[in-house]
Structure 1
């Protein structure tokens, strides 16, 4: 199971439209709900350029919200920003027609021997390896937001964040990074205070927003996980 909340019917997710915000800037609410446009209308193929744009928007928005949100994303965002730039170059490059969807990218790179399956070579990182790193970060975000949604009012955000990190990204980080991340999490406020800082309304409205947005994130994560597992790409060096 990739998500503990009832999945939104895939037809709705595929045909979802971007939700505009009444604020002058893109809010977390509209960012999360816009995840629905990552899914093509006719099948389960993921629109790669839109997915990359979404992740870029989340990173930008998180940094501009508050110091609190920024501290959470800082240990992930620096690496994620670099990965997003790599994918933007692929999606806009000479072979951009091969990067229309996640599935077309995997098919193209594997067929042309562009993926380092056993060990790193001196050539540029493949799209598959780059997306895998973003995919792992998305898993952490998914678990963290789900923990916020289902947590009690007096739940400690630091515990939710640490548990989510340990169940996802920590496996792939060296000890120094894991230690720094854990220390950063300790500065987080209580769950309700954090939900208010997210700037999407009351705590109840924030919980409702997460309940509406998480099924889309679960869909995208689940499709990517199954595709990469099928092609044995989940442990790329």
Structure 2
């Protein structure tokens, strides 16, 4: 994945629409990862504030792609088949991270937590006004999601970095959609699909008691 590739909100929307299958009863891993590649480009386009998160996401995407192309790739085709296979095969560290620190279940959980932050942030951006401060919107979304899994020093460093975020119109330019109204229309179309992806993953992990993996 080239860091110079341009972000396209439209491509991210298509990927996350495509990853939901069987009337939103499962998620195709390949399309989910493609959507995430777009989100990585989005984070990269906003500067160093997101760099450590985007680099971590890239490494996790690569791990999942290795699983998909490996001998057991069929088991990693969807979220549901992955969870069932890894639990059945005792490939998930449920109590402490020792034998299987890079299980598919744990990798997707980490991406899921960051996805929640980006989902909340984009929703706040969708409902923002010209006077809204992007730094505040991003910090609020972070506080309601990813901050819960970070130690104090990381939370402080991240919140300090938010203060350097560009103005609202710069975000809209980065999205490569068109006018402000066109960006808002695209966000209005995209956010329900993002919510469906998040909600399904949350419910699947909750059902199997995987939301608090070490």
**With structure 2 as the length reference, what TM-score do the two structures score?**
0.91
With 97-106 and 192-201 compared, the bigger mean Cα shift is at 192-201
Secondary structure, in 3 states, of the residue corresponding to 1:154? coil
Match of 2:167 in 1: 190
1:25 offset after TM fit, Å?
A: 5.6
Does residue 208 in structure 1 map to residue 185 in structure 2?
A: yes
Residues in 2 aligned to 1:123 and 1:44: alpha-carbon distance in whole angstroms: 27
Q: How does 1:102-121 map to 2 (within 5 A)?
A: 102-121=79-98
Q: CA deviation at 1:60?
A: 3.4
Inter-partner Cα distance in structure 2 for 1:213 and 1:178: 28
Cα shift at 1:58: 2.5
Q: Give the structure 2 partner of residue 160 of structure 1.
A: 137
Q: Answer whether contact 1:33 1:212 (CA < 8 A) is retained.
A: no
Q: CA RMSD in A?
A: 1.9
CA distance in 1: counterparts of 2:36 and 2:26, whole angstroms:
17
The residue number in structure 2 matching 1:74 is 51
In structure 2, how many angstroms separate the alpha carbons of the residues matched to 1:189 and 1:56?
Answer: 22
Tell me what 1:136 maps to.
Answer: 113
- Deviation string 1:1-24 (CA, Å, 9 cap, x unpaired) is xxxxxxxxxxxxxxxxxxxxxxx9
Distance 1:33 1:153, change over 3 A: farther
Deviating 4+ runs (over 4 angstroms) = none
Matches within 5 A, 1:42-121: 44-60=25-41, 62-63=43-44, 66=45, 69-121=46-98
2:206 aligned residue (216, 226, 229): 229
Q: How far did 1:101 drift?
A: 0.5
* DSSP 3-state at the match of 1:135: helix
2:162 maps to 1:181: no
Residues 38 and 46, structure 1, Cα contact 8 Å, conserved in 2: yes
| C-alpha contact 1:156 1:189 (8 A) present in aligned 2 | no
> Is the 1:75–1:181 contact (alpha carbons within 8 Å) kept by the matching residues of 2?
no
Structure 1: gaps (5+ residues): 1-23
Question: Cα distance 1:42–1:209, how it changes in 2: closer, same or farther (>3 A)?
Answer: closer
Q: 1:159 to 1:29 in 2, by over 3 A?
A: same
Partner deviation per Cα, 1:141-180 (whole Å, 9 max, x = no partner): 1000000001122000000000000111111112222122
1: CA distance, partners of 2:97 / 2:88: 18
Change beyond 3 A, Cα 1:30–1:49: closer
The verdict on how the C-alpha distance between 1:167 and 1:33 changes in structure 2, with shifts beyond 3 A counting, is: same
TM-score (norm 1): 0.82
